[in-house]
Amino acid sequence: MSVAVITGSSGLVGSESAISFHGKGLEIVGIDNNLRKVFFGEEGSTAWRTDILKARLRNFTHWPADIRDKTSIESIFRTYSSNITLVIHTASQPSHDWAAKDPSTDFNVNATGTLILLEAVRRYSPDAVFIFTSTNKVYGDSPNHLPILEQETRWEVQQSHPYFEYGIDEGMSIDRSQHSLFGVSKAAADLLSQEYAWCFGLKTGVFRAGCLTGGAHSGTEMHGFLSYLIKCAMTGRPYTIYGYKGKQVRDQLHCADLVDAFWHYYQNPRAGAVYNIGGSRHSHCSVIEAISLIEELSGKTLDYRLVNEARRGDHIWWVSDVRKFQQDYPTWTYRYDSKRIVEDIIESTAERAFAKQI
């Protein structure tokens, strides 16, 4: 049986990947030491998701290893070696704010951990497909220098600009911009993943994602904007919007649609490929537009306040141009739009609240 190694296997994208690829007949080796709990406290814990995977997936093995631990990672790859046909690397420190508190840990998790994984693939499973979950934050604050106009409920790029119709493509430079420390560590991992295709012939693919979300997200104030926003609305917790009048625009991509993109790439990998991946014009909204949609669908009223200071690294306007991926994999399509995404998270949040998991 072919083996898929998934790092961060209890997180949003990792757990969705485990369920999806297990359903397609792969044995799943999940690597997750619940470092998210260390980063964000108990509400960020993914232990509940680990329990679900263990209970539901017959061919699933959980390894509570740290991707920074070279000995442990090599032991896992040595155990499965040539049976490994796929590696999905989703483990990371994902927060701008947290990275500024501990830059060394952030870099070691995001960059050094990726290097250790790539070396393990090169040494033990060189024919495997390696998928790296990168981020649009590798572009730094370059999107904020686009010609952006204020509208009633959102910021919007000027209609005459090439990015207006489809969003931001992979041609945007990652140079000459302020990234935040998180953006730097992810950019290093992003470039490493590409370089292992050029230098060593590994089948690596880089997916630069916008706002990834879904019902399995353990959202916190520092990471998981839409999930945490809905959690606040459902539980009566106050929410703070940082900067840009709450009109900053993000595109939302449900993790199931991202994992489906992974499946398409796995079937026909293009070594060294880089893709912007997100909700595009299909699924995007501003923060205050998201609040209106959440209140409409949940029947709850969110208690929120606006502060003038924006979070470092926050984009004023981001919409992903996904046409490059769609050109390479034309049968990939969206299943979730903004409304369906919010409905999914509301339902999951209610279920977890009932089960006392949040």
Dig out the tokens for 53 from the structure: 């995977």
Report d(CA 36, CA 307) in Å as an integer.
27
Report d(CA 14, CA 98) in Å as an integer.
21
User: Would you say how long the chain is, in residues?
Assistant: 358
Q: Which residues contact 225 (CB under 8 A, 6 or more apart)?
A: 211, 213, 219, 250, 287
Closest CA to 181 of 276, 108, 248: 108
Q: Judging by beta carbons within 10 Å of its beta carbon (0-12, 13-18, 19+), is residue 285 exposed, middle or buried?
A: buried
Dig out the tokens for 170 from the structure: 């992979």
Closest CA to 286 of 159, 151, 158: 151
Report d(CA 318, CA 335) in Å as an integer.
20
Q: Judging by beta carbons within 10 Å of its beta carbon (0-12, 13-18, 19+), is residue 271 exposed, middle or buried?
A: middle
Report d(CA 136, CA 251) in Å as an integer.
11
Closest CA to 43 of 274, 349, 262, 255: 349
- Residue listed under structure tokens 């995007």: 284
Q: The pTM is what?
A: 0.95
In degrees and rounded to multiples of 5, residue 249 shows phi and psi of -105, 135
Dig out the tokens for 108 from the structure: 């070691």
Report d(CA 177, CA 174) in Å as an integer.
7
Report d(CA 221, CA 240) in Å as an integer.
9
Domains of the chain, CATH where assigned: 3-354 (3.40.50.720)
Q: Which residues contact 312 (CB under 8 A, 6 or more apart)?
A: 96, 97, 100, 178, 180
Please provide the distance, in angstroms rounded to a whole number, between the alpha carbons at the two ends of the chain: 36
β pairing state of 211-213 and 155-157 = unpaired
Q: pLDDT tens string for the chain (358 positions)? A: 899 999 999 999 999 999 999 999 999 999 999 999 999 899 889 999 999 999 999 999 999 999 999 999 999 999 999 999 999 999 999 998 899 999 999 999 999 999 999 999 999 999 999 999 999 999 999 999 999 999 999 999 999 999 999 999 999 999 999 999 999 999 999 999 999 999 999 999 999 999 999 988 777 776 778 988 999 999 999 999 999 999 999 999 999 999 999 999 999 999 999 999 999 999 999 999 999 999 999 999 999 999 999 887 789 999 999 999 999 999 999 999 999 999 999 998 887 665 555 5
The reported pLDDT for the residue numbered 223 is: 74
The reported pLDDT for the residue numbered 250 is: 95
